Structure 1
Amino acid sequence: MCKEVAVIDQNQEKSIGFDRSIEICDDLTIEEPIKSRSEILSQLKDAEKVLLSCVKTSYKTYYVNIPLWNSKIYSLTLKSEETDENRCPIVLLHGFGGGVALWSTVLDGLVSTKHIVHAFDLLGFGSSTRPKFSTDPVQAEKEFVQSIEEWRSAMKIEQMIFVGHSFGGLLGASYAIEHPERVRHLVLVDPWGFHEGSMRRRSTEDDSNRRRVPWWAHILHPIISQFNPLATARLLGTRSPKIMKKFRPEMEGWYKTDAIYDYNYLNNAQKPSGEVAFKNMNLLLGQVKRPMIHRFNLDPKIPVTFMYGKQSWVDKTPGYSIKCQRSQSYVNIKIIENAGHQIFAEAPLHFLEVMDDLLELVNKNSDLNYPKDDENLEKLT
């Protein structure tokens, strides 16, 4: 069973590197005095505990105070007795509409590598503060990146193995470009926002067969663009988890509990802060306004690993293009069989296998050397 620590003493505080900018808490209702917000956060906490009940390693959940808008970032940390404090920590960043508990399927496996593991709810999502982001997509992205850097600074992390999924992959890449000295290895898990057409048809035979935006979508765009992406879930209210379960029954199989539907709903039943920022960064039907492929001017010294689900809608072309562009840098590409967009939930063992190999390279500094063969294109079966 999990052990959640609500309060730590000063000696423990020093041992895990926390400072006064980090607030350990068990009651999420302190975030805001608004009753509806408090009720949602309390229910969200319950759903989160169910999802994390599969985690055998002791973990801590807490808020990290950051200067940007005087915000709080909800965070989770795991470490075991075998954890090597000298190893670079792993930092997990969820995708659009997600939260820390979505990583529950792989947390024990990651901790078993003797690395300390951190995850946090991105500002504007989950249990973190929900500020008003800029309506300008460039500025909004900078605000996300600033919040990540302020979180890192408060956590006193010198360098990290940054793992970003989907929208978190876009922001992870943006963060690494802005703060290259803080990223030891960048892991992009089915990253969204790298190509003009970030979605494609599901196809196991031709990954280059990307989906075109239909004519009717262009006609309806002026109407569609007036609504936030998850407005329908909020409109359905408490019926949303049941409807989601009907249309996405496979999710219960991934997490071995139907609490995943409550968790997803409660994560997004609140003020659509990060959701609005995400919408302003989009053109139409998930197409990003500023594709990362055109601005991936990452320090060549930073190793990069792409992890794609073979059945995912995310276009894999940018990963291979970046590999070609970064001919003098380490770029590893892994295609995960029998997995779609949620790789760590759909194929957790394969996800962990890739991470185990990656961490072995990091610990030996082997990923700092340019690979001279095509082994990094080998598909994982």
Structure 2
Amino acid sequence: MGNNNSAEKISRLQESENKLLSWGVEWFQETQMYKKRRASLIWKAYDVDITVPDHRRTNGECYNGHIHTVELRREGNEDSKEIPIVALHGYGAGIGHFYSMLPALANEWDGFVYSIDAFGCGLSSRPRWNLGYGENISVYNAESYFLDAFEAWREAQKIDKMVLFGHSLGGYLSVAYAERYPERVEHLILCSPVGIPKKPPEIHSNQRLPWYFRVARSAWGSGWSPYHLVRMIGSGLIEGYTQRRFRDATWINKNLLKDYMYHNWTAGNISGGGYAHATLLEPGAYARQPLASRLHDVALRVRAVSFIYGAEDWMSVNHAEQVRDSLYLSEYDQGVEIYEVQGGGHMMFIDNPLGLVDAILETTYKTKRGKTKRIKVIGHQYLAEDAIFRGLDQGVEVAARVSGNVAQGRVLAMDHGTGQAVVEWTDSSLPNLKIPFHELHLLKESSG
């Protein structure tokens, strides 16, 4: 009965992933970016068999498993010699989270685009976890759990070099992979990576923390996973989060996204993916082995390193600036580019997928890299186009958050160049500020 129930949950995850990715391709084919090229997109999902050391055993035995893979390309690119892009998701995520980014990237890239569910995540093998938590497992072994499987996948796919895109925890693992296999990474694109800074000294000691932080730290290091909470409470937790977290946009299908996220967190064993927060990180999302001290050597051994953040990201872009500045003070002679995606939070691939794709393409196709310290903000035009498509216009009634409170008003003027609108508020004490199009919520159209 238990096995049947598990198989049914995995089947639901497969179905929800397929629906979300199919919807993403259909949505993208209605965009102006697609219509400029009008090339047929070919995508398929499959599992790649791998054999890796079984870190749960000490007798040298191996584990036979698989890595779930999605592959995309333009029609006619099957013999392309272009280096492929490989996208790695973050904690609690999976291939499906890239549903709107992947077709856009494949449409513009001259080679293959791959995304995988990391070992212990999503539809990849999820062996039961028994390697320990927190300081009971070495960082090297915790990283090896993911990196051995990723390297086995690369070998099976016969990929010589790649542009490696990693988001959040996937960014952390991308650095760790490039550290071990620099010859396999042409360009490292770190999208809001977790784990760059060192943990501040004031939070090292449990004795200095309030009791509730000490309880949280104890749970963090003793095998508690956020996956447990979702499995106990049910889909309502994910549904509420999805409705609150993501704005209304033509590229966001909240129902399909909610279904995928829920099934991704409840199918199969929690496994290494669900416990990565407690094996690689510490409370506060600080890495047990911070990337700040590791990125310097990695940057010297790959062709290029770039950073991308959301303009509204909870991860601080200052961490990337500090890495860049330390490299500029050393023998590193390549430019380190930093981008911010307009309207994007930590999950900018959902918030503004086309803006993120523009950032990826600009940094990968660029041939000259100066030692600039400018952060380039990119992607506002897509937010503006989306708002106009959904009915934003002069005279329309809107709502927005102003000075921490929700205010209502009417659009007086629209600046299409900057993607901002001047709003006359119902509360006359509020100034007529310029508000970005994507921050305005439509109430109803003016009858006049």
Q: Distance in 2 between matches of 1:267 and 1:329?
A: 39
Q: Give the equivalent residue in structure 1 for 2:298.
A: 298
Report the CA distance between 1:253 and its aligned residue: 6.5
Q: Secondary structure at the residue paired with 2:71?
A: strand
Q: Say if 1:134 and 1:277, in contact at 8 Å, map to a contact too.
A: no
Report the CA distance between 1:338 and its aligned residue: 1.6
Q: Give the equivalent residue in structure 2 for 1:55.
A: 25
Q: Say if 2:72 and 2:112, in contact at 8 Å, map to a contact too.
A: yes
Q: Distance in 2 between matches of 1:251 and 1:148?
A: 35
In the TM superposition, 1:93-132 aligns within 5 A as 93-113=88-108, 114-131=110-127, 132=129
In the TM superposition, 1:234-253 aligns within 5 A as 234-248=231-245, 250=247
Residue 103 of structure 2 aligns to which amino acid in structure 1? D
Q: Secondary structure at the residue paired with 1:293?
A: coil
Report the CA distance between 1:252 and its aligned residue: 8.1
Q: Say if 1:331 and 1:376, in contact at 8 Å, map to a contact too.
A: no
Alpha-carbon distance change, 109 to 238 in structure 1, aligned in 2, over 3 angstroms = closer
Residue 68 of structure 2 corresponds to residue 74 of structure 1: yes
In the TM superposition, 1:78-97 aligns within 5 A as 78-83=72-77, 85-97=80-92
Q: Distance in 1 between matches of 2:217 and 2:301?
A: 43
Report the CA distance between 1:372 and its aligned residue: 3.1
Q: Secondary structure at the residue paired with 2:74?
A: coil
Residue 228 of structure 1 aligns to which amino acid in structure 2? S
Post-superposition CA distance 1:180-200 (Å, at most 9, x none): 1100100001111112359xx
Report the CA distance between 1:354 and its aligned residue: 1.0
Q: Say if 1:141 and 1:171, in contact at 8 Å, map to a contact too.
A: yes
Report the CA distance between 1:79 and its aligned residue: 1.5
Residue 360 of structure 1 aligns to which amino acid in structure 2? Y
Report the CA distance between 1:238 and its aligned residue: 4.1
Q: Say if 2:72 and 2:114, in contact at 8 Å, map to a contact too.
A: yes
Q: Give the equivalent residue in structure 2 for 1:323.
A: 324
Q: Say if 2:246 and 2:351, in contact at 8 Å, map to a contact too.
A: no
Q: Larger C-alpha radius of gyration, 1 or 2?
A: 2
TM score, norm. by length of structure 2: 0.68
Q: Distance in 2 between matches of 1:249 and 1:187?
A: 24
Residue 80 of structure 2 aligns to which amino acid in structure 1? E
Alpha-carbon distance change, 337 to 58 in structure 1, aligned in 2, over 3 angstroms = same
Percentage identity across aligned positions? 27
Residue 152 of structure 1 aligns to which amino acid in structure 2? R
Report the CA distance between 1:314 and its aligned residue: 0.8
Residue 318 of structure 2 aligns to which amino acid in structure 1? T
State which drifts further: 244-253 or 224-233. Answer: 244-253
Q: Say if 2:337 and 2:363, in contact at 8 Å, map to a contact too.
A: no
Post-superposition CA distance 1:95-129 (Å, at most 9, x none): 11111111111122211222211111001110111
Alpha-carbon distance change, 238 to 355 in structure 1, aligned in 2, over 3 angstroms = closer
Residue 3 of structure 2 corresponds to residue 34 of structure 1: yes
Residue 138 of structure 1 aligns to which amino acid in structure 2? Y
- Number of aligned positions between the proteins: 328
Report the CA distance between 1:340 and its aligned residue: 0.7
Report the CA distance between 1:224 and its aligned residue: 3.1
Q: Say if 2:119 and 2:145, in contact at 8 Å, map to a contact too.
A: no
Report the CA distance between 1:315 and its aligned residue: 2.3
- Hey, which of these two has a bigger chunk of strand by percent? 2
Q: Distance in 2 between matches of 1:97 and 1:376?
A: 32
Residue 143 of structure 2 corresponds to residue 141 of structure 1: yes
Q: Distance in 2 between matches of 1:90 and 1:107?
A: 10
Residue 203 of structure 2 corresponds to residue 224 of structure 1: no
Report the CA distance between 1:161 and its aligned residue: 0.5
Q: Distance in 2 between matches of 1:299 and 1:360?
A: 18
Alpha-carbon distance change, 252 to 244 in structure 1, aligned in 2, over 3 angstroms = farther
Q: What is the alpha-carbon root mean square deviation over aligned residues? A: 2.4
Alpha-carbon distance change, 150 to 266 in structure 1, aligned in 2, over 3 angstroms = same
TM score, norm. by length of structure 1: 0.79
Q: Distance in 2 between matches of 1:351 and 1:248?
A: 18
Q: Distance in 1 between matches of 2:157 and 2:126?
A: 20
Alpha-carbon distance change, 214 to 110 in structure 1, aligned in 2, over 3 angstroms = farther
Residue 81 of structure 1 aligns to which amino acid in structure 2? E
Report the CA distance between 1:248 and its aligned residue: 3.3
Q: Secondary structure at the residue paired with 2:339?
A: strand
Report the CA distance between 1:258 and its aligned residue: 0.8
Q: Say if 1:133 and 1:140, in contact at 8 Å, map to a contact too.
A: no
Q: Secondary structure at the residue paired with 2:309?
A: strand
Q: Distance in 1 between matches of 2:288 and 2:308?
A: 23
Q: Say if 1:164 and 1:189, in contact at 8 Å, map to a contact too.
A: yes
Report the CA distance between 1:39 and its aligned residue: 0.7
Q: Secondary structure at the residue paired with 2:126?
A: coil
Residue 139 of structure 2 corresponds to residue 155 of structure 1: no
Q: Distance in 2 between matches of 1:61 and 1:342?
A: 23
Q: Distance in 2 between matches of 1:313 and 1:35?
A: 40
Alpha-carbon distance change, 378 to 214 in structure 1, aligned in 2, over 3 angstroms = farther
Alpha-carbon distance change, 246 to 337 in structure 1, aligned in 2, over 3 angstroms = closer
Residue 278 of structure 2 corresponds to residue 279 of structure 1: yes
Q: Distance in 1 between matches of 2:351 and 2:235?
A: 26
Please point out which of 263, 268, 273 is paired with 1:266: 263
Q: Distance in 2 between matches of 1:372 and 1:330?
A: 5
Residue 67 of structure 1 aligns to which amino acid in structure 2? T
Q: Point out where structure 2 has 5 or more consecutive residues left out of the alignment.
A: 27-40, 53-62, 201-207, 381-448
Q: Say if 2:243 and 2:254, in contact at 8 Å, map to a contact too.
A: no
Residue 210 of structure 2 corresponds to residue 215 of structure 1: yes
Report the CA distance between 1:51 and its aligned residue: 0.8
Residue 139 of structure 1 aligns to which amino acid in structure 2? N
Alpha-carbon distance change, 377 to 140 in structure 1, aligned in 2, over 3 angstroms = same
Post-superposition CA distance 1:231-250 (Å, at most 9, x none): 21111134444343454353
Post-superposition CA distance 1:186-224 (Å, at most 9, x none): 0001111112359xxxxxxxxxxxxxx973543323553
